Amino acid sequence: MQSVETDAKELLERGPPYKLPELKAILKYHQVKGCSSLKKTAAEAKLQEIIGRGTHAPDYGDWTDADEEKLLTLTTKPITLGDTSLGRLRTVKRMELHAAINHMSKEEREDIRNKMNAADDMEVDVEPASIVPILPNLPGESTPPTSAAQLFPDEMSDVEDDGMQVEVV
């Protein structure tokens, strides 16, 4: 940014008339968004607007050793999972789990405890489960609906309390 600042200051000291690349350099120095796509008349109007308002360009400080040290610290700092979006999501999910447990009845907590104990007793396959692609229903294709009981046999049943049959499509 140092060269942009230097170039723009020299052009402003020299004064008009400006060519289009010079106008763009001055507008870039004033941090005008989209200045690279402006035509000469629009760029001149934008510069006149800036001058008319008396707006000064932002000050650019020199790069110091302290700045270099901060940059070095940031670029060499190890990034942990907690620093990532995934880590934050995991923390939120854990907090939601604790909140859900706090609002469960004794029977619900006991059911969860039994499922956790059963999961601890299970042997885990070394090979990952097969991946089944989920394809969209294309027009003209007919696929039979899968009931919730087939997808989650121990969680849900297709029969609700009023005896009405429900299918998940």
pLDDT digits 0-9 by tens, 114-155: 998 988 888 766 565 555 555 555 566 555 655 555 655 555
pLDDT band (50, 70, 90) for residue 109: very high
Residue 106 scores a pLDDT above 90: yes
Q: H-helix or E-strand containing 2?
A: helix 2-14
Q: Give the separation between CA 73 and CA 67, rounded to whole angstroms.
A: 10
pLDDT digits 0-9 by tens, 15-58: 888 888 888 888 888 888 888 888 888 888 888 888 888 877 77
> What's residue 134's pLDDT?
56
Q: Give the separation between CA 102 and CA 111, rounded to whole angstroms.
A: 14
81: closest CA among 94, 90, 73, 72? 90
Residue 101 scores a pLDDT above 70: yes
Phi, psi (5° rounding) for residue 81? Answer: -60, -35
Indicate the DSSP class of residue 83.
G
> What's residue 157's pLDDT?
46
